[in-house]
Amino acid sequence: MDNVSPDIGHHAALDARMVDAVRDIRLLALVSWPAGQEVNFLADYARGVVRLPQPEYPKLDFSHARAELDAIASAADPSHPLGIYLMESARSWSIAASLCESVGTTTVGDLSIQLFGRPDQCLPGDGPTTRDAARHFISIADELDHELMAPAEHVTISATALQLQLQRELDDYFDGRVIDVVLDPDLIAKAAAGATRIRLRFGAAFSDYDRHQLLQHEAFVHSLTALNGREQPLIPSLALSSPRVTATQEGLATFAEQITGSIDIGRMKRISLRIEAVAMALNGADFIEVFRFFLDSGQKPEDSFASAQRVFRGVPTTGGTAFTKDVVYLRGLLGVHTFFRWALRERKLQLCRWLFAGKMTLADVQRFEPLFASGVLKPARWLPHWVARANGLAGMLAFSLFANRIRLDKIVADGHVPDL
């Protein structure tokens, strides 16, 4: 840091302290249930025995980390782009630390709302709520005729086969082994990604849509932003999944599925069902009621358990509270989609590429513009193909911008669209 200005050096030193302070605050891992819950519950349920799961959590103390994070936030300059980033990140990590210290109590639900929001929050632009959007996608999915699906869309892929397929595609992309794809029997989600490892839930069944979705969502967003963040010499925390970046990360990953044609209405329904389930739990539904909600919505018992388990991570299973992370997917998707369209209109598509240079929020990348221009922050080394091809991205966004000006209710007459 010999050649950097004092303000950059000051914040780079604070960032290094933050990376060290949050090393053990692994939010999703610490709120996840211990292994073995699913087998016992489903065996009992099949015999007509219905018992609320009672997962046990470790007692944790992050008081030292929280004190350090408070000190970092106090030392950051609130008028500097990196100062704002560090203040907001440190406070986010501090809330996450308090959440982990409270696992098993209703406090987790309150703190997760601070981090991720609620289903009844309005979407960007003061539109409908996240729950309204979820119900919209559930309704459309339920109305579609599944017989319209091509035969190949009904074929399932085993986790082992998918592991081999994804590994081959990633090795081709990187021209070598950079990311390992592994099977994990204890994973709650069907898949999860870090910088150099993608985990698939052992025993899960996947579709061809799932394969493309995992490649675009997990590998080419979550993993690439982590890998690119590791390339930042001055601000290495950009490689970390700070809780405050969750909505942008999941929104960007889901947008990647959408713009590459890797998402289907079934996936939109699954995301939406989780949002509805979070709302149910907050309104008093217990684990059994949420589990049955997923069953009644057409999910298999194993998937219904995993989906309900997501809602009750870290909180009592008796209802009235929830772990609300799943509400960020639709809100994030709409936020990122709006941001990309705005970037095109303002001739700032470069911001969309810089968004992959690490894990940051939409506000961060706009504040960081002069830091990228001056070389303090490095552009992304790795980019998904759809972002790297700027002309194709611009074409899709330009069409979206114009199409949104056409009022469907103004051109549809008697339930039909007139001839052009």
- The answer to whether 372 and 354 have CB atoms below 8 angstroms apart is yes
The residue written with tokens 């060290």 in the block is 20
Give the pLDDT mean for 375-380. Answer: 97
The per-residue pLDDT for 406 is 66
Name 206's bridge partners.
157
Residue 396, number of CB atoms within 10 A of its CB: 14
Name 180's bridge partners.
197
Residue 261, number of CB atoms within 10 A of its CB: 11
pLDDT of residue 277 exceeding 70, the answer is yes
Higher pLDDT, residue 403 or 373: 373
The residue written with tokens 């690119």 in the block is 228
For residue 37, give every residue at least 6 positions away whose Cβ sits within 8 Å of its Cβ, in sequence order, or none. 53, 55, 309
pLDDT of residue 364 exceeding 90, the answer is yes
Report the candidate in 66, 57, 55 with the shortest Cα–Cα distance to residue 25: 66
Q: Which helix (H) or strand (E) holds 206?
A: strand 205-206
Give the pLDDT mean for 35-58. Answer: 91
For the stretch 300-321, pLDDT in tens is 999 999 999 999 999 999 999 9
For the stretch 69-99, pLDDT in tens is 999 999 999 999 999 999 999 999 999 999 9
Structure tokens at 266: 């079934």
Whole-Å CA distances, 114 to 85, 95, 99, 298: 17, 8, 10, 31
Q: Percent of the chain beyond pLDDT 90? A: 74
pLDDT band at 125 (very low <50, low <70, confident <90, very high): confident
The residue written with tokens 């929104």 in the block is 251
pLDDT of residue 5 exceeding 70, the answer is yes
Rounded Cα distance, 388 and 380, in Å: 10
pLDDT of residue 148 exceeding 70, the answer is no
The residue written with tokens 């700032």 in the block is 348
Name 199's bridge partners.
182, 192
Higher pLDDT, residue 205 or 319: 319
Alpha carbon 77 to its chain centroid, in Å, reads: 29
What's the count of helices (H) and strands (E) in the chain, helices before strands? Answer: 21, 5
Give the pLDDT mean for 11-30. Answer: 97
pLDDT of residue 354 exceeding 90, the answer is yes
pLDDT band at 153 (very low <50, low <70, confident <90, very high): low
Highest average pLDDT, of 9-18, 196-205, 341-350, comes from 9-18
Kindly provide the b/e burial profile for residues 336-348, where b requires at least 16 CB atoms within 10 angstroms of the residue's own CB: bbebbbebbeeee
Kindly provide the b/e burial profile for residues 19-50, where b requires at least 16 CB atoms within 10 angstroms of the residue's own CB: eebbeebebbebbbbeeeebeebeeebeeeee
pTM value? 0.90
Q: Which helix (H) or strand (E) holds 200?
A: strand 197-201
Q: Which of 142-151, 242-251, 358-367 has the lowest mean pLDDT?
A: 142-151
The per-residue pLDDT for 107 is 98
- Residue spans per domain, the chain: 117-411
- The answer to whether 301 and 43 have CB atoms below 8 angstroms apart is no
- The answer to whether 83 and 372 have CB atoms below 8 angstroms apart is no
Q: Mean pLDDT, the chain, as a whole number?
A: 91
